[in-house]
Amino acid sequence: MRTIALRPVSPRLAWLAVGAIGLGAWVVLAIWTPPHDPHATLCFFRQVTGIPCAGCGLTRALALLAKGEWSAAVAIHPLAPVLALEAAAGWLLWLAVIERWIKAPSMSLVNGGLIANAVVLLVVWALRLASGTLPG
């Protein structure tokens, strides 16, 4: 049996590929009109429980952001602009680390940021669930 050796991908090439994928996704979101039917969902949690999950509405909100409809996006999911900005900032931070303009953040800092995002997402979800303002 013959083994194939894979060459590592250049960090810059990986960064560019992720940026191209992100830009492509943003263009698709700008063109796509998401359904407003709550039953047209891929969310397993919602299908099983009938309750929108913490992330329900994010795709539709991001599609509205891509179209420039900020207030409508925030009405569907208030964290959509924050998460979109964090994704863009993370991508730029990645470049700064690759180019050695800055030192890479520690994994504990990265993990802390991810945990903070999860906590904020869950708190916003609980508040919206309690107030009945989840996307319907």
Instruction: Compute the distance between CA of residue 94 and CA of residue 83 in angstroms, rounded to an integer.
Output: 16
pLDDT of the residue at 136 = 60
Q: Is the dihedral of CA 25, 106, 80, 130 positive or negative?
A: positive
Residues 113-124 pLDDT 10s: 999 999 999 999
pLDDT of the residue at 38 = 63
pTM: 0.84
Task: Give yes or no for a contact between 63 and 33, defined as CB atoms under 8 angstroms apart.
Answer: yes
Residues 33-91 pLDDT 10s: 888 776 677 888 988 888 889 998 899 999 999 999 999 999 999 999 999 999 999 99
* b/e 44-68 (16+ beta carbons within 10 angstroms → b): eebeeeeebbbbbbbbbbbbbbbee
